[in-house]
Amino acid sequence: MSRDSASNPSTPPAQPPIARRDPTSTTLHGATLHDDFRWMRDKSSPELLAYLHAENAYTASVMAPTEDLQSTLYHEMLSHIQETDESVPYRLGDWFYSTRTVQGSQYPIHCRRAAANTDLNAPFDPTQPEHVILDVNRLAEGKPFMAVGDLAVSPDGSLLAYSTDPTGFRQYTLHIRNLQTGADLPDAAQRVGSIAWAADSRTLFYSTEDETTKRHDRIFRHTLGAPVAEDALILHEQDERFNLGVGRTRDGNYILIESASHTANEFRFLPADDPTGGLRLIAPRKDDQEYYPDHRLSPHSGGLFYIRTNDSGKNFRVVSAPADAPGREHWRELIPLDPDHPLEDFDLFHSFAVATRRKLGLPTLEVLRFNSDDTLAAPVPIAFPEPTYSAAPHVNRIFSTDVFRYSYQSLVSPPSVYEYNVARAHAPVPIGHSTLLKQQAVPGGFDPARYASERLWIDAPDGTKVPVSIVYRRDLFHRDAANPLYVYGYGSYGYPLPVGFSPTRLSLLDRGVVMAYAHIRGGGELGDAWHDAGKMSLKMATFTDFIAATEQLVAQRYGDPTRVAIEGGSAGGLLLGAVVNLAAAANKPHLFRVVLSHVPFVDVMNTMLDASLPLTVAEYEEWGNPNEPDSFATMLAYSPYDNLDCLKDKPTPAMLVKTSLNDSQVMYWEPAKYVAKLRTLKRDATPLLLHINMDAGHGGASGRYDYLKEIAFDYAFLLTQLALPAG
């Protein structure tokens, strides 16, 4: 099918709605912030809802000529997805657990099969009868949205604690299911986050959130059958920067409760077999220090906590400490700080450990076996074959095991699960070798040999080298800059942008789009130092890195300078808003042609000045506190909403801005206000569309088919604006 010639992206078929302007102002530190659209914060307002529906109607009218293309893309993407599938089963107690999907069903089904014998390293027996423990499709019946939060099976395997969110607001209700009968017990709690069972399978610990700020500030203890209203409050975190979470050590011996901000934390613990006992502190919190414990019984030293900590440097080291004296004064170093390779994770087992490090921005896995004196032998790396990829520990619930499972994928290789033989003497493969357990099937004629991936290092304006991952289809790639270029970015919270496989991406690659993923500062690709170099007073580096990456990709002829599309979501939407403004201010308004912005954090100043909103106070450690003059000036310099005037009367990219009415992370009014204000400034005919999912939250649609349709909608907009063929 060829692109509909009747569709002209420069002349929308209808006029957009005009939002009422009601000027308000905020004066702070000698500066005045003007806001004409603050009234949109009233979610109950009939005027607001009418306006949002009008925006959706306008977007639908502009996108109407692409409906055939959307359908083509949807079915194309669907053809590359194995609709009926099952995950690799993993052992927990006397059962093997897995998740499967069924063709035509929107949601996963959680199942288990009995283990054939008591040997925890015995293989899975697929002939055992399947037991469905949670069918999310049943939970979703009659609801436009359904998300499952935490899942925890009791140690004896008889009960399932799980939480559900039917709106997208990330407000979860705790349920407990009897796995013998399949019935939910009357025990239920509201606004629940993390959950953990005690060893008796009758006591459950859970966190709850504050009703206004959604900060997880309390930990309760529930006894099965007792009224939830009588649950014991065992910890209340008063500091508004900190959130609470509860979990359990891998060996099952201890309940762990973490209190964490963005830059500091502390852990309390109690024996899992003594759930009514008192909490003990491992080490008190210190500013700019983090630590993450797990536990192992040593034949020589009794119980030891093994702790990954950044107390001596941002790249983390590993120490141990006795469980009966875990304070910092008793910490003994096991793995020293590596100044070049950040230690991102440390997975502890009875006879070995696995260190996840970042080397040149890529994850590596190193296996370290315990010596007889509880020291660790030299690390043995697990090798990976491609220039850019993602690798991470998979589900490893058994503490005393001889194997380690990990996942691997890349921009051209589908997700795979491997089992690495650490110490099993009589295994079919030698010690130190990996066995592929499953690779995600990609039907529809996918051939990985048709695609290539690369990793480049571009120069930021200050000379810093910034990694960029690239993927394209070999036979459609032309180094004469004829290809359209797509650049994705995030760059916040120390989150490493994953370099993974996406079957939906094939719809762009197969039309000749070169796709690049910029690992800009503010992310975590090169450890905490990379994060620190792009946050707070240094946040502008995130945006200038992205602009430099785009310009150098074009200069190196990876893409057509007139056909550059960019995409990002949440803090990545902040990135997009900031770089569009910066490009216009630098007289480069044509740098970006298409912008796909999802749930964008664009109203930085108004949000961060409102301490009652979810996330605000805790995120002072990411963005800064605008009540302080220096932070105020820094944030004001890049806040997209407050700098839109630089786009006045200048060419603007084609923009599709998407949000959800029930978003609890970035409130719907941020993108709505942003679009309304931009409409008062732009004079060109490029489309500016706002689409609001009225039944979802921060992640968009919850059903997998509905979500696929959202991607098809996005790609139809992108392809049309880049003047690419439909098929």
Can you say how many angstroms the Cα of residue 608 is from the centroid of all Cα atoms in its chain? 22
Please tell me what DSSP assigns to residue 620.
H
Could you report how far apart the first and last alpha carbons of the chain are, in Å?
5
Please tell me what DSSP assigns to residue 159.
E
CB atoms within 10 A of CB 480: 7
Token pair for residue 125? 């027996």
Burial class (CB in 10 A: 0-12, 13-18, 19+), 440: middle
Please tell me what DSSP assigns to residue 412.
S
Let me know if 663 is a catalytic residue.
yes
Identify the H or E element spanning 178.
strand 173-178
Let me know if 570 is a catalytic residue.
yes
Please spell the DSSP secondary structure of 241-281, one letter per residue.
Answer: T-EEEEEE-TTSSEEEEEEE-SS-EEEEEEETT-TTSPPEE
Residue 78, SS3 per DSSP: helix
In angstroms, the CA 377 to CA 370 distance is: 6
Q: Catalytic residue among 453, 663, 664, 702, which?
A: 663
Q: Catalytic residue among 570, 639, 660, 664, which?
A: 570
Angle at 426 between CA 420 and CA 431, to 5 degrees: 35
Residue 612, SS3 per DSSP: coil
Please spell the DSSP secondary structure of 429-442, one letter per residue.
Answer: S-TT-EEEEEE---
Angle at 538 between CA 535 and CA 539, to 5 degrees: 55
The dihedral formed by the CA atoms of 297, 301, 302 and 305, expressed in degrees to the nearest 10? -60
Residue 704, SS3 per DSSP: helix
3-state secondary structure 326-375: CCHHHCEEEECCCCCCCEEEEEECCCEEEEEEEECCEEEEEEEEECCCCC
Q: Catalytic residue among 295, 394, 519, 698, which?
A: 698
Which residues lie below 8 Å from residue 45, measured CB to CB, with a gap of 6+? 39
Which residues lie below 8 Å from residue 290, measured CB to CB, with a gap of 6+? 260, 263, 264, 265, 309, 310
3-state secondary structure 488-518: EECCCCCCCCCCCCCHHHHHHHCCCCEEEEE
Burial class (CB in 10 A: 0-12, 13-18, 19+), 161: buried
Let me know if 532 is a catalytic residue.
no
3-state secondary structure 521-543: ECECCCCHHHHHCCCHHHCHHHH
Please tell me what DSSP assigns to residue 65.
G
Cα distances (angstroms) measured from residue 387 to each of 422, 471, 488, 501: 26, 11, 18, 14
Identify the H or E element spanning 689.
strand 688-693
Please tell me what DSSP assigns to residue 71.
H
Angle at 96 between CA 93 and CA 102, to 5 degrees: 150
Which positions are catalytic?
570, 663, 698
